[in-house]
């Protein structure tokens, strides 16, 4: 008997791989994968610092890759897997791309726009609403972020000590 009948964990593990690759390059560890009918259409990781582009979030880049794969701007029927709850920008892009389902790992209490601070992807005033599955592999996704930001704070404190000493 399987514990993951929808296959969400399988695809989320690929998103986690993307997030780990981002962290290894000094980026906030967020990864995204887009799947439709069992076929991966796009995947990517945060590239904000490397591209010096505030829009280079994993979800945005994965959407761009998926639309390039299909040659069409609509991703109707697709599922987007993200390790972190998407922000307002990414949530808006998810709606505009007509993605059918969003599956994410960790909630984002500070900028989450898919249920935490607001819920853009399910706003009844918009012309498209997205099914949302929260908390898939949440412990792994959240821990990756905790470790990353702990290390960033630690490096910042070391720098302050060196500069003031």
72 three-state secondary structure: coil
In sequence order, what are the residues at sequence separation of 6 or more whose Cβ sits closer than 8 angstroms to the Cβ of residue 22? 28, 29, 30, 31, 45, 46, 47, 58
- Per-residue DSSP letter, 3: S
Residue among 18, 27, 59, 85 flagged as catalytic: 59
Q: Are strands 79-84 and 39-45 parallel, antiparallel or unpaired?
A: unpaired
Interatomic CA distance for residues 27 and 21, integer angstroms: 9
Catalytic (active site) residue 85: no
Active site positions, annotated: 59
């Amino acid at each position: 008997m399987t514990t993951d009948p929808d296959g969400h964990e399988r695809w989320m593990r690929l998103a986690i791989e993307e997030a780990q690759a981002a962290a290894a390059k000094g980026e906030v560890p967020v990864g995204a994968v887009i799947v439709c009918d069992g076929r991966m259409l796009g995947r990517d990781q945060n590239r904000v610092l490397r591209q010096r582009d505030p829009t280079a979030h994993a979800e945005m880049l994965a959407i761009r890759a998926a639309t390039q794969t299909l040659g069409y701007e609509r991703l109707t029927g697709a599922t987007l897997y993200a390790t972190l709850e998407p922000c307002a920008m990414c949530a808006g892009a998810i709606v505009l791309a007509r993605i059918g389902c969003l599956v994410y790992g960790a909630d984002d209490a500070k900028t989450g726009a898919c249920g935490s601070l607001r819920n853009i992807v399910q706003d009844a005033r918009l012309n498209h609403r997205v099914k949302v599955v929260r908390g898939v592999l949440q412990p792994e996704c959240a821990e990756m972020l905790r470790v990353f930001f702990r290390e960033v704070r630690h490096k910042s404190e070391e720098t302050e000590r060196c500069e003031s000493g």
